[in-house]
Amino acid sequence: MSAIGSLRVVSEARPCDEDGLRALFLRQPGETAEPGAALFFEGDPACHVFHLISGNVRVCRFLPDGHRFIIGFLCAGDLVGLSFRSRYMFGAEAIDRVAFRRMNKRLFEEELQLAPEHRSQMLSHLRDEITASQDHMLLLSQKNAEERVCTFLLDRLDRTGTPGIVSLPMIRSDIADYLGMTIETVSRTLTKLVLKGIILPAEKHHFRVVSRSALARHANEANENDDHKGEAQRLLR
C-alpha cells in the first residue's frame, strides 16, 4: 500500500505492458502545452497519438446543452489517442504545464506493423480503457457523493508520488464533471471527510490521507483486494 509509483491494480497483476509502446515515442521531439491549452479537440481528425512526459491533462466531452463531462485525467507515462477511428471522440486539455511527445498515427501504425509484439500491448491498452470505463460507470450509477469522492481520492492517492499525500492538480469543476456532481457537493463532501478525520487539508491542491483503510471503506470499493485484507477491513469496522 505504500509502494511509490506502483500501478493501480485493476483486477489482476499487470507488469507494465505498454512500455514497449512508449518506447516508440522516444525519437519524437518534446513539446509543451500551457495550462488550459488543448492538445486536441473533440471532433478533430485524429492524426496523432500522444505520450505524456509530465503534467496533467483532462479528457472531456461536451453535450449539446453545454454540459461538460470529464472522462478521465492523464499524467506522466499515459498514452492517449489509441482508441480513435478517424476523429477524436473527446478533447484533451492541459491542466497545468504539460510536456509530451506526439506521433503521426500512420507512422505509429507502420511501427506496429514492424514490431508485431506491440500488437498485444495495443490490445492490452484498449482493454484497460474498457475496464476503467466500466469501473467509472459503476461509480456513476451506484455510488453516492461520499463514495464517489473517496473513490476518487483513492485513485489519486495511487497516482501521487508521495505516500499518504493525494494531489489534486485539477480544479473543483473538473472533479465535479468527472464524478457527475456539482462543485458545491464536491466541496461539501471534502469538508465532511476532513471533519471525520479521514483526510487533512495540506498545501494548496493537496490533502494528507490519515487513514487509507477508512477511505477505502467509505469508497465501498468492489475489490479492495477481496482476499484476507478485505475480510480484515470488514472485521475492523
Residues that bind its own copies (CB under 8 A): 11-12, 14, 61-65, 67, 69, 71, 83-87, 89-90, 119, 122-124, 126-127, 129-131, 133-134, 136-138, 140-142, 177, 179-180, 220-222, 226
Can you tell me which of 173, 196, 222, 232 binds DNA, judged by CB under 7 A? 173
Which CB sits closer to its own copies, 63 or 114? 63
Q: Which residues are 50's β-sheet partners?
A: 80, 102
Rg, Å, the chain Cα set: 18
Q: Which of 222, 202, 224, 201 is nearest to 213 (CA)?
A: 224
Min separation Cβ 175 and DNA, Å: 8
Task: Pick the closer one to DNA by CB: 120 or 173.
Answer: 173
Task: Enumerate residues 145-164 that contact DNA by CB under 7 A.
Answer: 145-146
- Residue 187, contacted partner among DNA, its own copies, none, CB below 5-8 A by kind: DNA
| Residues 74-133 within binding reach of DNA (CB under 7 A) | none
The partner in contact with residue 162, picked from its own copies, DNA, none with C-beta cut-offs of 5 to 8 angstroms by kind, is none
CB of 219 to its own copies, least distance (A): 10
Spatial strand order of the sheet with 57-62 comes to 38-40, 91-94, 57-62, 68-74
Q: Tell me how crowded residue 166 is: count the other CB atoms within 10 A of its CB.
A: 22
Torsional class of 225: left (φ above 0), alpha (ψ -120 to 50), beta (otherwise): left
Q: Which is nearer to DNA, 85 or 204 (CB)?
A: 204
Taking the complex as a whole, the smallest distance from the CB of residue 136 to its own copies amounts, in Å, to 6
Are the beta carbons of 31 and 87 closer than 8 angstroms? no
Residue type, 6: S
Strand segments (E) across the chain: 31-33, 38-40, 48-54, 57-62, 68-74, 79-80, 91-94, 98-104, 165-167, 199-201, 206-209
Which option in DNA, its own copies, none does residue 222 bind, with CB closer than 5 to 8 A by kind?
its own copies
Closer to its own copies by Cβ: residue 71 or 160: 71
- The whole-angstrom separation of Cα 130 and Cα 111 is 24
- Where along the sequence are the contacts to DNA (CB under 7 A)? 144-146, 171-173, 180-188, 190-191, 201, 204-205
